[in-house]
């Protein structure tokens, strides 16, 4: 599979955690994301592929509050999903294979490289469906 399908029905099973509210998304990239070490245990969690959104929180009337937010959305496991890169002219051509940018923390791409048979988690499908 050259790129992952973002369709709800193509997502695999799993859970979703998301907080209610309005956010104006100003940045969206495929990244290898890793949370900082836990303050109490000092334990570092594993890195994961994420759709990273950055933006500002808005009130119910979509007025910006000035509070910046970062929302990493887990898109699977690094063994199967990694940031990828395609040329802008090829965004709509799903036959074009994206370049696999690798699994180093902080790697960013403009799409995802997905191994054959892999799917994005069900949580993405639910979020996608809710936005439509």
pLDDT given at position 50: 95
Structural domain contains residue 2 = no
Domain ranges, residue 89: 8-131
pLDDT band at 51 (very low <50, low <70, confident <90, very high): very high
Structural domain contains residue 33 = yes
- Higher pLDDT, residue 110 or 1: 110
pLDDT given at position 15: 38
Structural domain contains residue 3 = no
Structural domain contains residue 85 = yes
Structural domain contains residue 35 = yes
pLDDT band at 17 (very low <50, low <70, confident <90, very high): very low
Structural domain contains residue 94 = yes
Residues 6+ apart with CB under 8 A from 46: 34
Question: Parallel, antiparallel, or unpaired for β 81-85 and 99-100?
Answer: antiparallel
Structural domain contains residue 120 = yes
- Higher pLDDT, residue 118 or 130: 118
Number of folded domains that form the chain: 1
């Amino acid at each position: 599979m050259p790129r992952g399908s973002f369709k709800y029905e193509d997502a695999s099973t799993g859970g979703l955690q998301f907080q209610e509210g309005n956010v104006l998304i100003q940045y969206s990239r495929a990244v290898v994301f890793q949370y900082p070490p836990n303050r109490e245990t000092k334990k570092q969690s594993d890195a994961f592929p994420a759709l990273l959104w950055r933006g500002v929180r808005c009130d119910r009337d979509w007025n910006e509050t000035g509070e910046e937010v970062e929302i990493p959305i887990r898109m699977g496991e690094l063994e199967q999903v990694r940031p990828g890169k395609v040329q802008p002219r090829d965004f709509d051509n799903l036959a074009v294979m994206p370049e696999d940018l690798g699994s180093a923390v902080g790697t960013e791409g403009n799409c995802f490289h997905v191994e054959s048979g892999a799917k994005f988690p069900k949580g993405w499908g639910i979020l996608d469906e809710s936005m439509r």
